[in-house]
Structure 1
Amino acid sequence: KDARVRVTQCGVDAPNIVITEDEGMSVEDTLTTLREALTNATLVLGMHPDQATDAAVTFACERGLPFAVVPCCVYAKEFSRRRLRDGTQVTTHEQLCAYLMEKTSASGAKVQMSTLDMRGKNVVIWSLGAEPMCRA
């Protein structure tokens, strides 16, 4: 039996996930484990996290956690509300990287962009974190 849940039930805002009881844990046990992992997180890493990119950066920034993400696909149609400070819609990988830099800077954290020595999408956006933001 599959149960569609939102990670918001664990206290964070993130995309839908699917939990399958056939994987050895009940839905409740899985949610408890996920809640504990998120509560105790000290670092956020995302290697080509696709649709979870924003959620990973937001989660880290709201909690003042260090993070590193290597964004890949932009998903411009799915995330049509993404805008750069100048109002430009985010439609390219370069713009996505700029957007993540702006988003992190707005949280008060110092943010860096580096290039990894590998093929493919290899730009990493990273921060050592800052003071946690108050959530309204």
Structure 2
Amino acid sequence: MTPAGYDDNDAGKVLLDGAIGSSTDLETKQRKKEEGRRRALEIAMAKQKLPNSNNSTKSGKRANRKSARHGARNQDRHKRFAQWILNTFPHILADCVDVRADDDQSNSRKGVHDATTKKPAQRMHILDVAGGKGELAARLSLCHSLHVIMVDPRAADIQSVYMNSVVPKLPKKWQQSIEERLKQSPLFVQDELERRFSQLVMPFSSPSHMGAHDVQTCFGDGALDSSVKNASLIVGLHADGATEAIVDAALMHQKPFVVVPCCVFPNLFPERYISMNDEVSNGEKRVLVRTHDQFCKYLLAKDPRFVTEVLPFDGRNIAIWWDGR
């Protein structure tokens, strides 16, 4: 029923007014959107120009700082760590020094054998666990003539690492000497590596406790068991998930070791706990190991003979080591 004073013309007028109002609202919204986009574009362009105006100054300052690039201040950590190893374990590394070919032949003629077993003496080596690309192994084996076995799940091209990452950082006289030897024998580096270096392409996990007198197969792999048993020193520089396994293997076989912890991986190792002071109860509480500092304390608590030391490079540089005595 139509209300009094209302006819079809009025209804048409209402619909028309409504349509005009809707159209106006849409135009307003569209205009505001365009203004918003234009304003956002102006702001973005202004921000883009702002750093460019100061870019020359900032880049100039950064160019004068060795620490501008991430990790630049610890890029020599392998060289410094190798030198620290030589200074800290001289009595141990003597067992790993390479014997030249003429000495090998001389000893074989003389019949050099182990005094107790009457068998040829077992060659000792440094076990580099989670060695990554292999720069530490390259320095120890090619620069310092030490036998090295590296364990890492990824195969490393040690020769390439040595020529591209190590040699350019060596003193000029060493570089010239290497160039001369390569001219005389293009396979010089390869031959040296075959004498002193080998890799086990596999992960390094914590050993299984087989009993006090049965540790021959504690890793489940004969080659890995032998490499640990005959190691003069076990090393782990930023070995990530293998760090605790190195410490456990060293304790099981009573081997000298050094680890430089890096990542903690608390979700992968939820069984790691340490005791900390509880300020609320004035006692101690057990907390899950989550931080780097807590991880170092956790490893140190495994044996009172362990030593901690700050190494001479930036970044994660806390070494935990034991000389086996």
TM-score bucket (shorter structure): 0.5 to 0.7
Structure 2: gaps spanning 5 or more residues = 1-201, 209-215, 277-285
Whether the 8 Å contact between 1:85 and 1:102 is mirrored in structure 2 is no
RCO (CA 8 Å, sep 6+): is it higher in 1 or 2? Answer: 1
Are 2:202 and 1:12 equivalent residues in the alignment? no
TM-score under structure 1 normalisation? 0.68
User: What count of residue pairs does the alignment treat as equivalent?
Assistant: 107
Structure 2 CA distance for aligned equivalents of residues 6 and 118 of structure 1: 26
Select the structure that is richer in strand.
1
- Aligned residue number for residue 292 of structure 2: 93
Rg bigger for which structure? Answer: 2
- Aligned residue number for residue 52 of structure 1: 242
Whether the 8 Å contact between 1:13 and 1:55 is mirrored in structure 2 is no
Deviation, structure 1 residue 129 = 2.1
Whether the 8 Å contact between 1:68 and 1:126 is mirrored in structure 2 is yes
Q: 1:36 to 1:62 in 2, by over 3 A?
A: closer
Q: What does the per-residue CA deviation read over 1:2-60, in whole Å, with 9 as the maximum and x for residues that have no partner? A: xx89876972349xxxxxxxxxxxxxxxx543332122122111000100011100000
Residue 271 of structure 2: SS of its match in structure 1?
A: coil
Select the structure that is richer in helix.
2
Report the identity percentage. 34
- Aligned residue number for residue 23 of structure 1: none
Match of 1:38 among 228, 241, 244: 228
- Aligned residue number for residue 83 of structure 2: none
Which letter does structure 2 place at the counterpart of 1:99? Y
Structure 1 CA distance for aligned equivalents of residues 242 and 235 of structure 2: 11
Structure 1: gaps spanning 5 or more residues = 15-30, 131-136
Structure 2 CA distance for aligned equivalents of residues 94 and 5 of structure 1: 25
- Aligned residue number for residue 68 of structure 1: 258
Alignment of 1:54-133 (within 5 A): 54-86=244-276, 87-105=286-304, 110-130=305-325
Structure 2 CA distance for aligned equivalents of residues 68 and 5 of structure 1: 18
